[in-house]
Amino acid sequence: MRIFVGNLDWATTEEELERLFYGYGTVERVRIITDRDTGRPRGYGFVEMPNATEAHAAIAGLNGTLVGGRTVTVNEARQREGGGGPRRPRW
C-alpha cells in the first residue's frame, strides 16, 4: 500500500521517515520528493508498506502527529490524474 506523508519539515530524511513507519510494520520503500531544478525537498513523500493492515495502523497512528516540529498529514496515496501539463525544456 502506498502512503502519502505531507507537511514534512525540509530537514526530514528518508531514513527518519522509514524509522517512524517501521514501528508499525514492514517498510518496503520510502521516497521524499525533491524539486527537479533545485534538489530541495518539497515537503512531502511516500512510504510503501506491503501489508495493508500495518499500513492502515500507521496512517491512524501517525496522521496529525508532530514530526520534526511540524504536524504531518498521513493518508492513503491517490493515483495521479492527468499528465501534469507540458514540461519546460531543461537547457
pTM of the predicted structure, to 2 decimals: 0.85
CA 31 from centroid of its chain's CA atoms: 6
The reply to whether 84 falls in a domain is no
| 25 three-class SS | coil
- The better pLDDT of the pair 21, 83 is held by 21
Measured distance between the N- and C-terminal CA atoms of the chain, rounded to whole angstroms: 37
| 5 three-class SS | strand
- Assign residue 30 the CATH number of its domain: 3.30.70.330
The reply to whether 83 falls in a domain is no
pLDDT for the residue numbered 79: 82
The reply to whether 45 falls in a domain is yes
The reply to whether 28 falls in a domain is yes
pLDDT for the residue numbered 25: 97
Predicted confidence (pLDDT) per residue in 20-49, tens digit: 999 999 999 999 999 999 999 999 999 999
Reading phi first (left if > 0) and then psi (alpha if -120 to 50, else beta), residue 28 is in: alpha
Task: Determine the structural domain holding residue 57 and report its residue range.
Answer: 2-76
The reply to whether 27 falls in a domain is yes
The reply to whether 37 falls in a domain is yes
